[in-house]
Structure 1
Amino acid sequence: MSTTLSLLLALQAASGTTAPEPEQLAAPAGQAASEAQPDAASAAPGDIVVTARRRVERVQEVPIAMSVIGGAEIEKTGAFNVNRLQQQQPSLQFYSSNPRNSAINIRGLGAPFGLTNDGIEQGVGFYVDGVYIGRVGASTFDFVDVAQVEVLRGPQGTLYGKNTTAGALNITTRPPSFSPEAKAELSVGNYNFVQAKASVSGPITDNVAIRLSTSATTRKGTIYNVRTDEYLHRQRNFGVRGQLLWKATDTLDLTLFGDFNVQSPDCCVQYYARVGTTQRAANRQYNALAAAFGYTPPSTNPFDRVTDLDASINSRQEIGGASLVANLDLGAATLTSVSSWRYWDWQPQNDRDFIGLPITTVSQNPSQQKQVSQELRLASDGKNTLDYTVGAFYFHQTINTQGSQVQGSAASRYLLNPGNVPVGSSGCATPTANACNPAVLDGLTSTNTISFDNTSFAVFGKLNWAVAEGFHIQPGLRLNYDKKSGSYVSVVRTGSGSTTLNADQAATLAPQSYAPEFSAWNVSGDITASYDFTRDVHGYATYAKSFKSGGINLSGLPLNAAGTAVDLTTQTVKPEKVDAYEIGLKTQFLDRRATLNLAAFWTEIADYQATVNNGQLTVIRGYLANAGKVRSRGFEFDSSFRPSKRLNLYFNGAYTDATYQRFTNAPCPPELSGGTVTTGTPGPAGVAGGLSPVVCDISGQRLPGISKWSLSAGGEYNIPVGGSGGEVYLGYDGNYRSRFSSNPSPSAYTWIEGYSLSNFRAGYRKDDFNVFGWVRNAFNQNYFELLSTQSGSTGLIVGQPGDPRTYGLTVSKSF
Structure 2
Amino acid sequence: MKRILLAATALSATIAITPVHAQSEAGAQVSSAVDDIVVTAQRRSESVQDVPIAISAFSADQLQKQGVSNTLELGRFVPNLVSMNNTGVGSANAFYLRGLGNTETIPTFDPPVGTYVDDIYLSRQNANNINLFDVERVEVLRGPQGTLFGRNTTGGAVNVILREPGNEFGGYAEIGYGRFNKKVVRGSADIPLADSFAVKISGYWQNDDGYAKNVTTGQRLNDDDGWGVRLGIRGDLAPGAKWTGSYAHIVANGENIMNFQCNPANPSECDGRFVTTGLRAGKTAETSPYLATVSGRKANYLMGNRTSTDLVTSKFEFDVAQNLSASLITGFVSQTQQYALDFYDGRTGPTLANPVPPVLGLAHGAFVITNDGQHEQFSQEIKFNGSVGDGLIDYVAGAYYLVENNRTDFADLFSTSATSQFLLADRILRNKTEAYAGYAQFDLNATEKLKLTAGIRYTDETKTFELSDNRLSCNDGTVEATCLNTGNLFGPSGLAVPHKQSAKLWTPRFAVNYKATDDILLFASATRGFKSGGWNARATNVSTFLPFGPEKVWSYETGIKSDWFNRRVRANLTFFYTDVSDLQTPSAILNANGSATFITRNFADMRNKGVEAEFTFVPVNGLNLYVNGGYQDAEFRIDKNAPAFDEFGVQSVYAQQQACLAALAAGNVPGVGTSPCGAGIVAADGSIAKPTRTPKWTIAFGGNYEAELGSSGMTLVPSINASYRSSQETSASNLTIYSGSITGANGTFPGNPYEGTILAGSYSPAAWFLNAGLALNGADKAWQLSVSCTNCLGETAANTSLVNTRYIDPPATWMIRARHNF
Same fold (TM over 0.5): yes
Match of 2:712 in 1: 724
Letter in 2 for 1:364: T
Distance change in 2, residues 1:743/1:362 (3 Å) = closer
Match of 1:398 in 2: 405
Superposition deviation, residue 621 in structure 1: 5.9
Query: 1:310–1:351: 8 Å Cα contact kept in structure 2?
Result: no
Equivalent position to 1:192, from 181, 184, 187: 181
Match of 1:133 in 2: 122
Match of 1:520 in 2: 503
- The 5 A counterparts of 1:275-294 are none
Equivalent position to 1:613, from 588, 598, 620: 588
Distance change in 2, residues 1:752/1:668 (3 Å) = farther
Equivalent position to 1:349, from 340, 343, 348: 340
Bigger mean CA deviation after superposition, 95-104 or 750-759: 95-104
Equivalent position to 2:395, from 372, 379, 388: 388
Match of 2:323 in 1: 332
Distance change in 2, residues 1:306/1:250 (3 Å) = same
Query: 1:737–1:755: 8 Å Cα contact kept in structure 2?
Result: yes
Query: 1:99–1:137: 8 Å Cα contact kept in structure 2?
Result: no
> What is the TM-score when the length of structure 1 is the normalising length?
0.80
Superposition deviation, residue 500 in structure 1: 11
Distance 1:488 1:618 in 2: 26
The alignment partner of 1:532 has SS state of strand
Q: Deviations over 1:346-370 (max 9, x none)?
A: 1011113322345646422221110
Superposition deviation, residue 86 in structure 1: 1.8
The alignment partner of 2:65 has SS state of helix
Bigger mean CA deviation after superposition, 580-589 or 207-216: 207-216
Q: Deviations over 1:52-107 (max 9, x none)?
A: 11111011101110011111222334422111222222332222221576422211
The alignment partner of 1:310 has SS state of coil
Query: 1:613–1:667: 8 Å Cα contact kept in structure 2?
Result: no
Match of 1:805 in 2: 812
Distance change in 2, residues 1:23/1:708 (3 Å) = farther
The alignment partner of 1:810 has SS state of strand
Letter in 2 for 1:754: A
- The 5 A counterparts of 1:379-778 are 379-380=385-386, 384-408=391-415, 410=417, 442=421, 444=423, 446-492=425-471, 516-556=499-539, 566=543, 571-615=546-590, 620=596, 622-662=598-638, 683-686=667-670, 692=676, 697=682, 701-749=689-737, 750-766=762-778, 767-768=780-781, 769-778=783-792
Query: 2:468–2:485: 8 Å Cα contact kept in structure 1?
Result: no
Distance change in 2, residues 1:787/1:573 (3 Å) = closer
Q: Deviations over 1:105-161 (max 9, x none)?
A: 2112132xx443421212111110111111112312423321110111111111000
Identity %: 24
Letter in 2 for 1:452: N
The alignment partner of 2:72 has SS state of helix
Gaps of 5+ in 2: 1-20, 280-301, 347-360, 490-496, 645-649, 738-761
- The 5 A counterparts of 1:3-152 are 18=25, 46-95=35-84, 96-97=86-87, 98-99=89-90, 102-111=93-102, 114-152=103-141
Does 2:140 match 1:157? no
- The 5 A counterparts of 1:228-377 are 228-265=217-254, 267-271=255-259, 297-299=265-267, 304-311=272-279, 312-330=302-320, 331-355=322-346, 356-357=361-362, 360=366, 362-377=368-383
Distance 1:540 1:687 in 2: 47
Q: Deviations over 1:265-313 (max 9, x none)?
A: 3x22114689xxxxxxxxxxxxxxxxxxxx9734388874112111242
Distance 1:478 1:619 in 2: 43
Cα-Cα RMSD: 3.6
Superposition deviation, residue 492 in structure 1: 4.1
Letter in 2 for 1:227: T
Query: 1:729–1:763: 8 Å Cα contact kept in structure 2?
Result: yes
Distance 2:81 2:673 in 1: 41
Query: 2:414–2:421: 8 Å Cα contact kept in structure 1?
Result: yes
Superposition deviation, residue 628 in structure 1: 2.4
Match of 1:562 in 2: none
Distance 1:159 1:509 in 2: 38
Gaps of 5+ in 1: 1-13, 26-43, 275-294, 412-437, 559-564, 790-796
Distance 1:706 1:814 in 2: 42
Q: How many residues align?
A: 712
Letter in 2 for 1:320: D
Distance 2:705 2:130 in 1: 31
Q: Deviations over 1:731-768 (max 9, x none)?
A: 10111111111111112332011111111112321312
Query: 1:262–1:316: 8 Å Cα contact kept in structure 2?
Result: yes
Superposition deviation, residue 623 in structure 1: 2.6
Distance 1:718 1:74 in 2: 15
The alignment partner of 1:775 has SS state of strand
Superposition deviation, residue 689 in structure 1: 7.5
The alignment partner of 1:798 has SS state of coil
Query: 1:735–1:758: 8 Å Cα contact kept in structure 2?
Result: yes
Match of 2:212 in 1: 223
Distance change in 2, residues 1:512/1:223 (3 Å) = farther
Distance change in 2, residues 1:55/1:777 (3 Å) = same
Distance 2:557 2:105 in 1: 30
The alignment partner of 1:803 has SS state of coil
Query: 1:299–1:306: 8 Å Cα contact kept in structure 2?
Result: no
Q: Deviations over 1:686-741 (max 9, x none)?
A: 48689546866467532112211111111012332131322222110111111111
